[in-house]
Amino acid sequence: MFAYVSRRLIQSIFVMLTVSLLAFAMFRFVGDPMAVMVGQETSIEDQERLREQLGLNDPVIQQYGRFITNMLTGEFGFSYRTRQPIGEMLLERAPATIELGIVSLLISLIVGIPAGIYTALRNDGFLSQTILITTLIGISIPTFVIGIFLIYLFGVQLGWLPTFGRGEVTEIGWWKSSFFSLKGLEALILPAITLGIYQLTLTMRLVRSEMQDVLNTDFIKFAVARGINYRSIHYHHALRNSMVPVITIIGLQFGGVIAFSIVTESVFQWPGMGLLFLESIRYVDIPVMAVYLVIIALVFVVINLIVDMLYFAIDPRVRLQPEAG
Amino acid sequence: MLEAWRRIKIENEFIYLFLNNRVAQLAALVAIVFILGALLAPLIAPSNPYDLSTFDILDSFTPPAWSEGGNPQFIIGTDDQGRDLLSSIMYGMRLSLIIGVLSVAFAAIFGTAIGVAAGYLGGRFDTIVMRIADVQLSLPAILTALLVDGIARGLLPREQHEDLLLVVLSLAIGLSLWVNFARTARASTFVERNKEYVQAAEIIGLHPIRIMLVVILPNILSPLLVIGTVDLAVAILLEATLSFLGVGVPPNQPSLGTLIRIGTEYIFSGEWWIVIFPSFALIILIISINILGDFFRAYLNPRLR
């Protein structure tokens, strides 16, 4: 257990170091930080003094060390564009993205897992085939087009749901939540479906193929031969053994949700972190890009760690193989 | 002649499978029509959407020809500038395809070179490169492409960035897709490396670079071809997404994504055709490329049939 966990931890730290090196290189070498901070009329001496003050003349290694210390202590610096502290900007935007991500992940799991099980068990049924063809088309339609179609159908033609922004938010301390008002929930529906559909098709297809694989194994055949009823075989033996990969899916999907939230937030003008990142690219706001990169990488690494730990808890095969992984 | 064709039809597995697969035939037909239409756009498109003198703002927001107020001159209507939508889509698809092919070519060359080298040389190089690939694989492609695009914007002055836009976009998309090629090439090279013909080449003293390029590479091409087809669809989607987000190609040279972006501004006022037709063009293109990719995969991997 200890060896397994510590090896995973070391790997994670290596990933974070690589990403932070990349972020630091962006921050330090893409465009001169000085040129952005000072105006035309700042004298050379003043510039030199500021350069010294900011430590831009120190050896690069030392600057990198300071960059990491700053990141660890939450000193993210200031945005070139708005001059606000980046930490504050992110904290203000994070709840919108997190709530959107959680709801769409829930949609994808609550619909995707049962649909996957159903299509695996009734492979040739009419409904199964319909579901499968629908998901094939779903994979080919880009997220933003799905969003636009939903806006056109439910927002413009039917006029049922709001199509941009968060509607009404309830403030709980600094956390602004959509969950506690009808208007907020209404505004959440279309973006969450848009973000969830692609993940849903992935979940469904993976659960289906995983379940089919397990159903073909010898122990299922043996269970059939023993005369155990099918209900028990399907939901007890097969489903349980298909669940390990499903945990990986959930972990991987979190990444997908974060990445595609950039697109969805842009379509629905959802004021989250993705929209902030997009604006920072459009205005070449390098510090915001660098910090976003580090934070996203951290989220990925933490999720992967949790997934690995869950493996350990759920699948005895991982526990019994000390060399695995 | 006819006799020869009849024999090919039965003996050549690829052609046999293709002739018995209606869906793949349809997809190939659609893809060929789209690609020809896009490549020949300057010759056959009704008008040139880049040339300001060929369109008139008075024609703007003309609905499709079959609906009320339509003009037979503009079969599927015009956009906010009065540009013929069909011509815009043809030119846009041209741009989308060019960027898609360029970025897949870049990803294929870069990824395959690294993958073959890692698989053949092994050792520390292999470990480091594949670790980097793992890190990148955990980041979704769209994020990588956005980051590379953002960094390029920071490094290049504004005017230069617009001139190099095609290259920058292809690089950004290519850099987010190379990992697939590298991993596949590495795995295949690993298998080939220990076969006798490679050992023979080593014994007669061929240079390692020659072994990798001339001896091994031709034998691992087919799985890479499948990845290339699938990634072409992914690259076109990525380009469309970047352009839709407003960080791709500029509005005066619209790609399909830009057209959809422009169109979304008018769905609330009822000009649905400006967004619907480019979206359909994009979706149909992607679906047909994906179907062809599946067909290639099934052909190369009989277990899937």
**Domain CATH code at residue B180:** 1.10.3720.10
Query: For the whole model, what pTM was predicted?
Result: 0.82
Q: What tokens does A9 get?
A: 């931890």
Residue B44 included in any domain: yes
Residue B6 lies in a domain: no
- For the segment B255-283, what is each residue's pLDDT rounded down to a tens digit? 888 888 888 877 777 677 778 888 888 98
Interface test with B, best of A8, A144, A145 (most B CBs within 10 A): A145
- Does the model's ipTM exceed the 0.85 cut? no
Q: Name the CATH superfamily housing domain A86-282.
A: MetI-like (1.10.3720.10)
**pLDDT at residue number B23:** 82
As a whole number, mean pLDDT of residues B176-199 equals 89
AA identity, residue B262 = I
Q: Residue A156: pLDDT above 90? A: no
A298-302, B267-271, B300-304, range with the lowest pLDDT:
B300-304
For residues B133 and A249, is the Cβ–Cβ distance under 8 A?
Answer: no
Q: Which domain holds residue B238?
A: 40-51+62-69+76-304
User: What residues contact B226, with CB distance under 8 A and at least 6 apart?
Assistant: B293, B296, B297, B300
Residues 187-246 of A with CB under 8 A from B: none
CB B140 to CB A156 under 8 A? no
A241 within 8 A of A213, measured Cβ to Cβ: no
In whole angstroms, what is the distance from residue A192 CA to residue A169 CA?
16
Decide if B39 contacts B94 (C-beta within 8 A). yes
Using only the alpha carbons of chain A, give its radius of gyration.
24
CB B135 within 8 A of CB A19: yes
Q: Indicate if the pLDDT at residue A266 is higher than 60.
A: yes
Residue B115 pLDDT grade (very low, low, confident, very high; cuts 50, 70, 90): very high
Q: Does B16 fall in a domain? A: no
Pairwise CA distance, residues A232 & A238, whole Å: 9
Alpha-carbon distance of A295 to A299, in angstroms, equals 6
The answer on pLDDT for B104 being more than 90 is yes
Distance CA A261, CA A168 (A): 20
**Which residues of chain A have a CB within 8 Å of the CB of B96?**
none
B151·A14 Cβ contact <8 A? no
**Over 70: is that where the pLDDT of B203 sits?**
yes
Contacts by residues A153-160 (CB-CB < 8 Å, ≥ 24 positions apart): A154/A190, A155/A190, A155/B268, A156/B267, A156/B268, A156/B270
Q: Which residues pair with B84 in a beta bridge?
A: B78
pLDDT top residue among A271 and A242? A271
Q: How far does chain B reach from its first CA to its final CA, in angstroms?
A: 31
Quote the pLDDT of residue B219. 85
Q: Which chain B residues contact residue A140 at CB under 8 A?
A: 233, 283, 286-287, 290
Domain count, chain B: 1
When mean pLDDT is compared over A47-56, A66-75, B92-101, B255-264, the highest value belongs to B92-101
Task: Considering only residues A259 and A146, tell me which one the structure prediction assigns the higher pLDDT.
Answer: A146
A35 CB contacts (<8 Å, ≥6 apart)?
A: none
Backbone dihedral angles phi then psi of residue B156, each to the nearest 5 degrees: -95, 140
Flag whether B21 is in a domain. no
**Residue A324 pLDDT > 50:** no
Q: To probe the interface with A, which of B156, B230, B245, B255 has the most A CB atoms within 10 Å?
A: B245
Mutation to test the B interface, candidates A281, A303, A305, most B Cβ within 10 Å:
A281
Q: Where are the beta strands (DSSP E) in chain A?
A: 170-172, 175-177
Q: How many CB atoms lie within 10 A of CB B124?
A: 8
Cβ atoms of residues B134 and B169 within 8 Å: no
Comparison of pLDDT for A186 and A93, the residue scoring more? A93
The secondary structure of chain A in percent helix, strand, coil, rounded to multiples of 5, reads 75, 0, 20
The nearest CA of chain A is from the CA of B135 a distance in Å of 6
Whether the per-residue pLDDT at B69 is higher than 70: the answer is: no
